[in-house]
């Protein structure tokens, strides 16, 4: 297995401290707080560890309460809210330095058949015809603070091919829409819960940024404060995160210093696999 993927899987593995109590490591990737996808993935790992193996997560709803410390472990406390005939529900609270920094509710279901339809995938170029996302060029990277340089130079367990070019300093006023192809950098075992945990992790990339596109700014702007408030994810069909998937994102609204974005994750054949939604703080600093 590619070492970048092995490191990510190790990060999402938790130590069980007691019944319903787990501890996960944190990783400093060059941003001031723990990456939201890490907390989502670890919380889902904690919830899944208390659910029968034949029940697979189909939705999760989470709130980011405080910035996580990337240099300290996180403790996850699981409440076994429901174990019904077909569904199990879990509530997870993430604790760091004695404070709640995050909470999440996740629902699991026994696999079964039912009605089947989905929205069509947007018509976009395939990933092979696009330029892979590699971050800022060397000249721009050299002008960034060391911490931000580390963020862009950190080995990534996923590769991205954006349909629209991503501008860092020359941000334009654009339509609040973005499509990005992504996949894991190497093959993974055929474990459905593993792929769903990894989708939770990667679903936090790029989503909230979509709400800034009409406003001629980017997350690198020193005057912009941007942070996730909540995150929701619905799994509709089986996922293979090591195959190309299209993340189609849009932001229907921004107001009250909050941006709202939603996304659809499609398989290459156009099948809708998952849906996401996120609201976050999007605030411009007032001139001093």
Please give the structure tokens belonging to residue 102.
Answer: 């995050």
Known catalytic residue at 33: no
Nearest to 155 by CA among 128, 186, 127: 186
- DSSP three-state, residue 46: helix
Q: Which of 38, 161, 218, 278 is catalytic?
A: 278
* Catalytic residue chosen out of the listed positions 42, 88, 203, 204: 204
Query: At residue 189, what are phi and psi to the nearest 5 degrees?
Result: -60, 155
282 Ramachandran zone, left/alpha/beta (phi>0; psi -120 to 50): beta
Task: Give the residue carrying structure tokens 């499609």.
Answer: 266
CA gap 106, 48 in Å, rounded: 9
E strand or H helix that includes residue 101: strand 99-110
Chain-centroid distance of CA 259 in Å reads 16
- Max CA distance (Å), the chain: 59
Distance CA 34, CA 252 (A): 27
Residues 6 or more apart in contact with residue 116 via CB below 8 angstroms: none
- The Cβ-side half-sphere exposure at 193, using a 13 Å CA radius, reads 23
* Candidates 96, 203, 218, 228; catalytic one: 228
Closest to 183 (Cα-Cα) out of 132, 238, 228: 132
Q: Among this protein's residues, is 228 annotated catalytic?
A: yes
204 classed as catalytic: yes
Report the C-alpha gap between 146 and 130 in whole angstroms: 29
Q: Are strands 224-235 and 55-64 parallel, antiparallel or unpaired?
A: antiparallel
Active site residues: 204, 228, 278
């Amino acid at each position: 297995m590619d070492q970048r993927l092995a490191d990510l899987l190790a990060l999402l593995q938790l130590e069980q401290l007691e019944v319903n109590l787990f501890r996960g490591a944190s990783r400093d990737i060059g941003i001031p707080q723990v990456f939201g996808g890490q907390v989502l993935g670890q919380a889902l790992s904690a919830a899944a560890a208390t659910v029968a193996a034949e029940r697979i997560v189909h939705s999760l709803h989470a709130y980011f309460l405080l910035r996580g410390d990337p240099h300290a472990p996180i403790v996850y406390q699981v409440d076994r809210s429901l174990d019904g005939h077909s569904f199990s529900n879990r509530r997870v609270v993430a604790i760091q330095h004695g404070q709640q920094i995050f909470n999440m509710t996740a629902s699991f279901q026994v696999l079964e058949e039912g009605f089947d339809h989905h929205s069509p995938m947007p018509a976009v170029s395939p990933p092979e015809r696009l330029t892979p996302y590699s971050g800022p060029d060397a000249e721009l990277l050299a002008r960034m603070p060391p911490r931000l340089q580390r963020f862009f130079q950190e080995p990534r367990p996923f590769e991205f091919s954006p349909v629209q070019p991503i501008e860092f300093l020359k941000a334009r006023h654009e339509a609040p829409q973005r499509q990005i192809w992504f996949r894991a950098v190497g093959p993974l075992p055929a474990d459905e819960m593993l792929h769903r945990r990894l989708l939770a992790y990667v679903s936090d990339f790029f989503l909230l940024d979509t709400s800034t596109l009409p406003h001629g700014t980017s997350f690198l702007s020193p005057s912009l404060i941007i942070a996730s408030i909540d995150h929701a994810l619905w799994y509709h069909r089986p996922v293979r995160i090591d195959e190309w998937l299209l993340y189609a994102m849009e932001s229907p609204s921004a107001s009250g210093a909050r941006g709202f974005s939603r996304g659809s994750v499609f398989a290459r054949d156009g099948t809708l696999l998952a849906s996401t939604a996120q609201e976050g703080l999007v605030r411009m600093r007032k001139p001093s």
